[in-house]
Amino acid sequence: MDMHSWYKEQTVERFLKYAVIDTQSKRDADRRPSTPGQMELLRLIRRELEEMGIPETVLYDEGYLIARIPASPGCEQIPAVGFMAHVDTAGDVSGKDVKPQMVCSYDGSDITLGSSGLMLRASDNPELQECVGRDIITTDGTTLLGADDKAGAAEIITAAQYIMEHEEISHGPVELIFTSDEETGAGMDCFPVKDLQSVCCYTLDGSGRGSIEAECFYAVRADVKCTGVSYHLGRAKGRMVNAVTMASSFIRMLPQSESPESTEDREGYYCALSIQGDVEHADIQVYIRDFDRSQAQRRANAVKDIAKAVEAAFPGGSVTVEITWQYENMLEGISKHPAILETAEQAMRTIGIEPRYTSIRGGTDGARLTAMGIPAPNLFTGGNNYHSRYEWLCTDAMAEAAAVVTQIPMIWADRFREKSK
Ligand SMILES: [Zn+2]
């Protein structure tokens, strides 16, 4: 069997095994991980890694698994490198009773999703055309697929198997990291970062073939509190100040041309995310997102200016703004160490893929890990249309992602030896 077919067979088999375990995570749960299925999958992965002969696998009660492949003889001095995937699936669509559909040698036409009546249309999915002649996995239209991020997990584990079975490969220490509750935003909340030995970590949680994501938003939250003055509505003239009206006036002053609905690519935005209140108090939560730190700061200042303007328009009322920086553009941490992205690019080119950079219009666990001091760019998994019934996965891209993961520790070792010469 040639190498590509081996990678494909292994990643597909693993993915199908993981896909049927319901690992949907739940927001605002009072335990970690938020749902029992995630721990079930982590235990299964741990057994698999142990069976491969990986000597050290640590499963944390909070829902993290860290496995360590020791350096090959003579490579002990090479800094450790990590690979990370999350085992949970998104809360938006059910992840229970997932029944993956296999489409072999895709012919470029629309794909019927089971008997659900849904269609994966070629016209809505230009990426499908890149996969003509390749094999695709879709849902049956009743659930999500969970390629986000079980494809990433299957690829990392397959690469680990390859490294364990090929003693001739020289590589430094490799850490395999599996996390839970990524989709709830709490994935890194209890992460045992002090136990990590890796100097950098590649997250396998990206999308189409060849993509490298090294950049995400700067994220700022503004908590706006409008305070009014309540009076009997029949005697309110000249005395009542309505906080609900103030809040509505505040939201109308946010530029609609700079909202998520009207921006794309590298454009930032304001988004009024929630509003609640009554005549006396009304609270608004505003998200500010931008790839540029100074632009994010400018928007935060603009929100404060709007608050002052509303206050001036409603004498007797008050508006306060509390600004919280939620996460940072990870490019800031990653670009300090050019070897990290250069190694990923070289790994892709070695197997015939031209890398392309895309920006994440959101945050990732990798961004939070980068903020903790371990730069963590995101690599492709072969999955598309995440968090939906239209999720699909190119199995050939999955095989290629596993090959990239195998290449990185080898290139990392070569570079280190070059440098120490
Ligand atoms: Zn993901």
- Centre of ligand 1 from the C-alpha of residue 152, in Å: 9
- Centre of ligand 1 from the C-alpha of residue 412, in Å: 25
- Centre of ligand 1 from the C-alpha of residue 240, in Å: 48
Mean pLDDT check: name the lowest of 5-19, 112-126, 355-369, 392-406: 355-369
Specify the CATH number of the domain 218-327.
3.30.70.360
Mean pLDDT check: name the lowest of 40-44, 364-368, 396-400: 364-368
Which uninterrupted H or E stretch holds 259?
Answer: none
Tokens of 28: 């605002």
* Confidence check: pLDDT of 200 > 90: yes
Mean pLDDT on 129-136: 95
Which uninterrupted H or E stretch holds 14?
Answer: helix 3-19
- Centre of ligand 1 from the C-alpha of residue 70, in Å: 27
* Confidence check: pLDDT of 363 > 80: no
Per the CB < 8 A criterion, the answer to whether 98 and 20 are in contact is yes
Sign of CA dihedral 345, 348, 349, 354: negative
Question: Can you give the pLDDT at residue 245?
Answer: 98
Instruction: Give the β-pairing of 136-138 and 211-216.
Output: unpaired
Cα(85)–Cα(106) distance, rounded to whole angstroms?
27
H helix and E strand count, the chain: 9, 18
Give the HSE-up count for residue 219: Cα atoms under 13 Å, Cβ half-sphere. 17
The 10s digit of each residue's pLDDT in 260-312 is 999 999 999 999 999 999 999 999 999 999 999 999 999 999 999 999 999 99
Torsion angle of C-alpha atoms 89, 92, 96, 102, degrees rounded to 10: -70
- Centre of ligand 1 from the C-alpha of residue 251, in Å: 31
The architecture (CATH level 2) of 3-216+329-420 comes to 3-Layer(aba) Sandwich (3.40)
* Confidence check: pLDDT of 420 > 90: no
Q: Which of the four pLDDT bands, split at 50, 70 and 90, describes residue 163?
A: very high
Closest CA to 384 of 166, 169, 130, 142: 130
Question: Can you give the pLDDT at residue 326?
Answer: 85
Mean pLDDT on 341-352: 97
| Catalytic sites, residue numbers | 88, 182
Q: Which of the four pLDDT bands, split at 50, 70 and 90, describes residue 346?
A: very high
> Helix, strand or coil for residue 334?
helix
Q: Which of the four pLDDT bands, split at 50, 70 and 90, describes residue 186?
A: confident
- Centre of ligand 1 from the C-alpha of residue 364, in Å: 8
Cα(87)–Cα(179) distance, rounded to whole angstroms?
6
The 10s digit of each residue's pLDDT in 211-259 is 999 999 999 999 999 999 999 999 999 999 999 999 999 999 999 999 9
- Centre of ligand 1 from the C-alpha of residue 406, in Å: 21
- Centre of ligand 1 from the C-alpha of residue 247, in Å: 34
Q: Which of the four pLDDT bands, split at 50, 70 and 90, describes residue 2?
A: very high
Cα(380)–Cα(400) distance, rounded to whole angstroms?
9
Residue boundaries of the structural domains of the chain? 3-216+329-420, 218-327
Percent of the chain with pLDDT over 70: 100
The 3-state secondary structure of 49-112, one letter per residue: HHHCCCCEEEEECCCEEEEEECCCCCCCCCCCEEEEEECCECCCCCCCCCCCEEECCCCCCCEE
Q: Do domains 3-216+329-420 and 218-327 have the same CATH topology?
A: no
Those residues whose C-beta lies under 8 Å from the C-beta of residue 29, and which sit 6 or more positions away, are 35, 184
Q: Could you tell me the pTM of the whole model?
A: 0.88
> Average per-residue pLDDT in the chain?
95
Question: Can you give the pLDDT at residue 331?
Answer: 94
- Centre of ligand 1 from the C-alpha of residue 148, in Å: 5
The 10s digit of each residue's pLDDT in 79-88 is 999 999 999 9
- Centre of ligand 1 from the C-alpha of residue 252, in Å: 34
- Centre of ligand 1 from the C-alpha of residue 113, in Å: 22
Q: Which of the four pLDDT bands, split at 50, 70 and 90, describes residue 95?
A: very high
- Centre of ligand 1 from the C-alpha of residue 235, in Å: 55
Question: Can you give the pLDDT at residue 418?
Answer: 86
